[in-house]
Amino acid sequence: MRKLRPDPVTLLDKYRGRDFHPLYTTSVTVRAGDAAHGRACGIAISDDGELLVDLRLPVEMGGTGGGTNPEQLFAAGYSACFHGALSMLAERAGLAIPDASVTATVSFGRDPVDGLYVIVANINIHLPGLAKAVAEELVRTTERLCPYSKMAQNGIESVVALTQ
């Protein structure tokens, strides 16, 4: 069994290049299942095969449930990224946060602006044992570092392309 290690603190070093410099790239493909609808009954698989998830529409949205949905996957990614950034910053500052937890609550709902749909995310950070002022500063710094937080606040570069 491989020993797991945290992210290296060197990931906090500033990049000075002019263009986006990818450090890791992955792809996940979703295929439709029995209902011919990827969100309602699809399968998501990563390019390396490490992620293989049955997708199901939640009961609250009229589905059958019994599987993972995109909002859960987004919440997991956001929580994990924020926790990782929080941990690196705490280590760099010499702070021990062994019982830290990050919970992302993601809601899919109706958008009053265009009448269609929107995603809302709330992040709750639990840092027992840290003084409130220290914890607040650590969270604010993490919010500026975490790529998911930056994406949620500033948007994301995205290209949609048809391949046939």
Residues 29 and 86 in one domain: no
pTM, to two decimals: 0.91
**Listed residues 50, 68, 86: the one ending a domain:** 68
* H helix or E strand, kind and range, residue 118: strand 117-126
Domain extent, residue 47, equals: 1-68
pLDDT on residue 36: 82
Residues 76 and 64 in one domain: no
Residues 47 and 90 in one domain: no
Residues 93 and 53 in one domain: no
Cα–Cα distance measured from residue 148 to residue 154, given in angstroms and rounded to the nearest whole number: 10
pLDDT, tens digit (0-9, with 9 covering 90-100), for 80-130: 999 999 999 999 999 999 999 999 999 999 999 999 999 999 999 999 999
